[in-house]
Structure 1
């Protein structure tokens, strides 16, 4: 059975018709066009939503990675229209069966979190010494989708991974054709990630805005994961005053302005949810809009721009047949993202 879809394609805002040939989109109907079943006729078309910072496979910190939980959470992403994810670190490497399963979203993984002493939940990632970091970074990127994830800082009063070491790891991964995501929330950790040339800065809660222009120049993307912080704001404000509480709130209150400034400076700002439940990237789009991104750019951060950043095209001839349809324009009303009318993944209708 072949399928036909028609609608207004974003971001071009052009009405187009696609025929689905296996797991590819085609603009040429081919000889069997008359037999194609029309499964989308009108509305707005996006090339699948993207969550560039999500950790499926477990449901709580220190709970072991589990294949069944991984499958369940990937399906939660898929059923929300999230057809491509990046997992910047996991408690275990993403197993090969995920890529082989046509019902699951496409995954770009970064292997296990790389944690030097005192810089992560003990035993939750790949615990290594600082002397082992460079080699471990190359190993994880080679064993995954080309990415690795380094925990660049942890405690708010503790020193980050030294910049010379972080740069050595990033340079080694780059020399091997890979990319590096760096977890950073402290000012020093964020500074080191930028100056060391990280490919993506994850969280960046206390990012010095003076570094934003350098991020733009060198192509460091910003994944602020605002929605996970927003979910904890109320609890943070209700805690007894303490240096850690004040540090957290100061970082959270500064984050929206930094996200807006990064976007205005030309930094690639992307949508990532970080924590559970899965399939909530539409909430992150709303947070990016609240920070000051234009709605179209916020939607792009969770769709066509994110796909391009991860190496996949948008809705063009020959592109992967990953498509989400909506009754209304999500760039005018981003709440529409939570209500897809049709989801097609790898050429299959899944909703």
Structure 2
């Protein structure tokens, strides 16, 4: 069945029509098409660039049934593209073959060296093994790998020379490196090593933002999960670690604003459950200082472009969400799509 959608396309803010032929958008009219969206606002499918579907508890392995449920939760919320920057195992091949599921960009399992991250929750390697493991995981996934660059403030970050060698080796093979970093040292090392994305970025020195912008390093601040953690920390007894966490989180509004103003790509990633809540993350990005259009774009067209997919254009994948009102005027609108179309099929 050929379908037609028409409405105001974002980010162009132009009224346009598309015809859906198979799983592709077409601008050339096709006769006898069924109109499934008539008016409102059209966005490229939403994107969560930091989500971990397939398991909800530390130490458990990927489960196919849980993975499918999580991805459907994403899909039904209009999240039609996800990046899994590290997981408890490699995302199985059947995910890419299932037309009912969002498109997935995987980074394989987390790569953690001794003393960093939860032991056994991902792939544990020594610092000497890290380079080869990173190249292997990038080649076995969607071109990404994920390195745990630091952990707690009283523990040293992964050495700069080690991380630099990893990034250079993965880049030489055409891959990209996401780095978990939440300490000042870890963030600095990730930027100076030339990582492609900083996951979290808490305690990032704003003086590094210009370098990030120049080399194309994106920031994924995962504000929702840290916001929840801050609420718990405020109710806890004072400790040095609690103060470290709260001071880092309280600096995030200024950091997010400064990153955007410096030209850094700031993206929406949830890093939490339930899946399908990237709209709430976009709202936090706006609340923390991103212009509303940048916050929406960070969960849609900006993120899709960063991951190598087009927005709404002739020949693009037929992955889109439609809204009754303009989400760039009210970011909360993102949570209420009136129509979700994935791979040319209406799913909501």
TM-score range, shorter chain: over 0.9
Please list the CA deviations of residues 117-151 of structure 1 after superposition, one character each: whole Å capped at 9, or x if unmatched: 01011100100000000000000000000000000
Please list the CA deviations of residues 217-264 of structure 1 after superposition, one character each: whole Å capped at 9, or x if unmatched: 111000000111111221100111000000000000011111110000
Match of 2:230 in 1: 233
Among candidates 15, 33, 51, match of residue 36 of structure 1: 33
Match of 1:305 in 2: 302
Among candidates 209, 214, 222, match of residue 212 of structure 1: 209
Distance 1:344 1:60 in 2: 31
Match of 1:6 in 2: 6
Give the number of equivalent residue pairs.
348
Match of 1:191 in 2: 188
Please state if 1:152 is matched with 2:149.
Answer: yes
Match of 2:15 in 1: 15
1:317 Cα deviation (Å)?
Answer: 0.3
Name the SS for the 1:65 alignment partner.
Answer: coil
Unaligned runs of 5+ in 2: none
1:290 Cα deviation (Å)?
Answer: 1.1
Name the SS for the 1:142 alignment partner.
Answer: helix
Unaligned runs of 5+ in 1: none
1:291 Cα deviation (Å)?
Answer: 1.2
When the two structures are superposed, what TM-score results if normalisation uses the length of structure 1? 0.98
1:173 Cα deviation (Å)?
Answer: 0.1
Distance 1:264 1:184 in 2: 21
Name the SS for the 1:267 alignment partner.
Answer: coil
Distance 2:341 2:283 in 1: 24
Match of 1:102 in 2: 99
RMSD, aligned α-carbons: 0.6
Distance 1:241 1:131 in 2: 37
Distance 2:274 2:104 in 1: 17
Name the SS for the 2:135 alignment partner.
Answer: helix
- Give the alignment of 1:166-185 within 5 angstroms: 166-185=163-182
1:34 Cα deviation (Å)?
Answer: 2.6
Distance 1:117 1:158 in 2: 11
Quick check: 2:2–2:21 contact (8 Å CA) kept in 1? yes
1:64 Cα deviation (Å)?
Answer: 2.2
Name the SS for the 1:8 alignment partner.
Answer: strand
Distance 1:275 1:133 in 2: 26
Name the SS for the 1:35 alignment partner.
Answer: coil
Distance 1:256 1:214 in 2: 20
Match of 1:340 in 2: 337
Match of 1:27 in 2: 27
1:63 Cα deviation (Å)?
Answer: 2.3
Among candidates 296, 309, 316, match of residue 293 of structure 2: 296
Distance 1:212 1:334 in 2: 25
Distance 1:234 1:252 in 2: 11
Match of 2:74 in 1: 77
Distance 1:132 1:55 in 2: 24
Distance 1:327 1:61 in 2: 39
Please state if 1:86 is matched with 2:83.
Answer: yes
